[in-house]
Chains A and B, each alone.
Chain A
Amino acid sequence: MKLFTQLYRRIDSTTSVSRKVSALVDYFNEASDSDKLWTIALFTHRRPRRTIQTALLRTWAAEIAGLPQWLFEESYHTVGDLAETIALVLPEPKHSQDKSLTEWIKAIIDQREKDENEKKHFVLSAWASMEKDERFLFNKLITGGFRIGVSQKLMTRALATFLDKEENHVAHRLMGQWSPADTDFESLLVRADWQDDLSKPYPFFLAYALERELVDLGPTNAWAAEWKWDGIRAQLIKRKGVVFVWSRGEELITDTFPEFKAIREVAADNFVLDGEIVVHDESGVRPFNHLQKRLGRKKVSRKMLQDYPVKLLAYDLLEYEGQDIRIRPYAKRREYLNEILFGLQEKAEKSILLSEEVTFDSWIELKDVHEKARSLKAEGLMLKEKNSGYLDGRRRGGWWKWKVDPFTIDAVMLYAQRGHGRRSNLFTDFTFAVWDDSGSLVPFAKAYSGLTDSEFAEVTNFVNRNTIERFGPVRSVVPELVFELAFEGINTSKRHKSGVALRFPRIRRWRKDKLPSEANNLADLKALLEVYGE
């Protein structure tokens, strides 16, 4: 694992993308194929399943370091990363070894069948043979969450350089379900018969939020617009008569949505659709919390299918008659899309609908259309340049998302908790409250983003000086700071004392100009619920 540790050090000691890429390329040049494959797997969140509980690691680390458990835990809260905390508190190594990354991973996988004593012996002797960085990485192999400054995009770039191939070719090959256990480096990235993998999706094209004036987009006839629905982004693949559904998180969700299996029976074959899965009944698109009831289920009951029927609102076609057409203009792809959807319609297959374009003759007219989004329960509009190709990853231009303004409310900070990783030294996770009729503060939302680092530092200072009580990592604070929260939707909740649940709450700004007594009331939230909730 020395080579891998060296790679980590090089990546960790620079913020420059090109230096990280060259560190990776050097590593690919030196590492064995199996080490390369595992490295790719780790950086694309395909680590093996956990075979050793983190609770055990914590106990053993405290024991070896001669620390009481509470002090270890307190250190962990400060560091914000378990693998790192363990690496820092352990005593100096006693001996060394030169096992490869693959050997260590295999040894870790082998622990599954072992009893606790054997696991302990394995972990302790590993720790005793490693210096700090190697230990950190070893711990990461066990605990997962391999975020060490290498995004999938960056690794794709490095692999493309190393293999002398196009980036999107590499990106495509890395998609879908594969595991180092059942493939090798050659067949994953180099061999030509990879297309046998029928289920392989394309990288999703992700739009940026509209960041300019509409008029700057040029003539309106170069653009198409459609509603942006609040569902889950998905690719629906039919190849050789078999149907696959992929989420944006590269999860295969075919079984979660059996509705789509019906398209096996229709004529068209060998195509890939991109669209939004939403719960959809006679009255149209239903809010996201209906869809939530369907997520994460492997088996779906008849009642579920009846109460929360889903449809795919298809807006793009990436593969047509087995050909990758992502490079063709949007308008052309829409033509093919229409053709496929018309074919489905003829067979009375209704699980897939066309995501209709909205028509407009001027940007001013489109602004009026946009105003109606909230009442249609849409998130806003998507703008797509008719001439644009389907790119991979998040790119500027071509597509823009134009969301409606969020709801906002002023709330008082009640609890604070330390952040993780980059922000482990700061209080960044807050619980907010509004006033109820009896004049008490009722907590209703947690939010942990939206402030700058220096604002977080300022709030942290406040928390340190105004702590009322400590509950482990959480502190209750004097209710004095007022923040404006933004959120995308509101619904009733039986779980929360306040009776409401917000969708995607975040901090919009710190209202230093407001006193706690000027924060909103629960009644204000209930009024929003009345109009926009379910």
Chain B
Amino acid sequence: MHRKKDLVALTNRGLYVEAADVYIDPWKKVNRALITHGHSDHARWGNKHYMCANSSVEILKHRLGNDLSIQGVAFGEKIYINGVNFSFHPAGHVAGSAQIRVEHKGEVCVVTGDYKTENDGITEPFELMRCNTIITECTFGLPVYIWDRQYLVMEQVHDWWASNSRDGKVSVITAYSLGKAQRLIHALDMNIGKVFCHPAIAKMNEVYRSSGFRLPETFVLSPSTTKKAVKGGLLVVPPAALDSKAIQNLGTLSTGIASGWMALRGNRRRRNADRGFVLSDHSDWISLNRVIEESGASRILTTHGYSVTFARWLSEKGLNAQPLNTEFGDNTSEDSDH
């Protein structure tokens, strides 16, 4: 059967909309890049012109440089490029994260970027889009990844923090500095104790605030932070900082990791942290399947992680699904849950 050309096609530079001559989240330098969200595997340095959701502009500038040629677009606003209709819609992944809808000659394709369907209380909530073709992430596209609701996970975090606090210990939780950290801070019960942020996270908090997101005030870790000050408190640090001397020297620690990968015991034990909290900014198995079904898409392209497996599963259910070999994500490390 002859297929007409895909509206959004995979090239060696990234996802390409030929009719408009623009790329979505390209991994090599291009003239015009539409960016779904600020994580480094999606928003790369070196493109000539950037376009993203309004609430993502400050994040991109913070990460890629203030002199960026960048245009912000309101969610739902229709943009025409070379006659092709583009719009950005909330993906619920991190602040300003978008699904990009492309419409041309009656054909609709949605590039989801990374997404989660649960409303985390801080990120613009996910919007379900109807389309002909969906290019979906499937970082956690295996039936073993099924998340508990956020409030249940936060109960575990709070119990752990409160119990450490009673024992005079410092709780250290690792969270990716863009997104996961702010989601956590926003959901924390500040009555338990003081919250300290790693400088990298504190900076991102400021970017969040300047983009219009409300976050509670927290302390910032610095070389002069004392053991006494942090005793009983909670430190929010990026994964790589956990083993650093600066953190290790702050007293008797209890360590926790907030990541979807913590759903597996093997991953929890490998990291040698005391606790693993299953908290992901990606969709779990159930939401991935629901979103695909409800999108009404007749063609499904899977990216990230378990793309081959997930596409096979969808194909066997009678859907037209194929893996796309993009350069997003990398499912081999629990740190990549961002």
Contact = CB atoms under 8 A, between A and B. Distances in A.
Interface in B256-271: 261, 263-270
A178 to B, nearest CB: 30
A75 B142 contact: yes
B309 A425 contact: no
Among B142, B272, B312: residue with most chain A CB under 10 A:
B142
Contact of A424 (B266, B275, B312, B333): B266
A8 B162 CA distance: 21
A166 interface: no
Interface in A61-106: 65, 67-68, 70-72, 74-75, 78-81, 84-85, 88-89
B266 A425 contact: yes
B313 A422 contact: no
Contacts of B312: 70-71
B274 interface: yes
B332 to A, nearest CB: 5
Contacts, number: 76
Given A79-B264, A88-B263, A425-B264, A460 B269 contact: no
Interface of A, helix, strand, loop or mixed by DSSP: helix
Contacts of A88: 143-146, 263
Nearest to B313: A71
Interface stretch (A9-17, A31-39, A185-193): A9-17
Contacts of B272: 15
B273 interface: yes
Interface residues of B, number: 27
Contacts of B263: 88
B143 A89 contact: yes
Given A85-B144, A425-B334, A79 B266 contact: yes
Contact of B309 (A13, A71, A424, A453): A71
A363 B334 CA distance: 49
Among B264, B309, B312, B316: residue with most chain A CB under 10 A:
B264
Contact of B270 (A12, A74, A422): A422
A461 interface: yes
A71 B143 contact: yes
B107 interface: no
A71 B160 CA distance: 35
A423 B273 contact: no
Interface string B294-326: 000000000000000100110010000000000
Nearest to B265: A84
A423 B333 contact: no
B21 interface: no
B155 interface: no
Contacts of A421: 265-266, 269
Given A74-B142, A75-B142, A79-B264, A423 B270 contact: yes
Given A68-B316, A75-B144, A457-B332, A425 B261 contact: yes
Contacts of A15: 272-274
B332 A464 contact: yes
Given A15-B273, A79-B264, A88-B263, A457 B144 contact: no
B328 to A, nearest CB: 13
A426 interface: yes
B332 A74 contact: no
Interface in B230-270: 261, 263-270
Contacts of B265: 12, 81, 84, 421
A420 B330 CA distance: 20
Contact of B275 (A13, A70, A79, A420): A13
B313 A425 contact: no
Nearest to A149: B269
A80 B266 contact: yes
A421 B267 CA distance: 8
B76 to A, nearest CB: 36
Interface of A: 12-16, 65, 67-68, 70-72, 74-75, 78-81, 84-85, 88-89, 149, 420-426, 453, 457, 460-461, 464
30 contacts: A12-B268, A13-B160, A13-B274, A13-B275, A15-B274, A68-B316, A71-B312, A75-B143, A75-B144, A78-B142, A78-B144, A79-B264, A81-B266, A84-B264, A84-B265, A88-B143, A88-B144, A88-B145, A88-B146, A421-B269, A422-B269, A422-B270, A424-B264, A425-B264, A425-B267, A425-B334, A457-B333, A461-B330, A464-B330, A464-B332
Closest 4 CB pairs of A and B: A424-B266, A88-B144, A422-B269, A460-B332
Given A71-B309, A420-B266, A457-B332, 7 more contacts: A12-B268, A14-B274, A67-B143, A80-B266, A422-B269, A425-B261, A461-B332
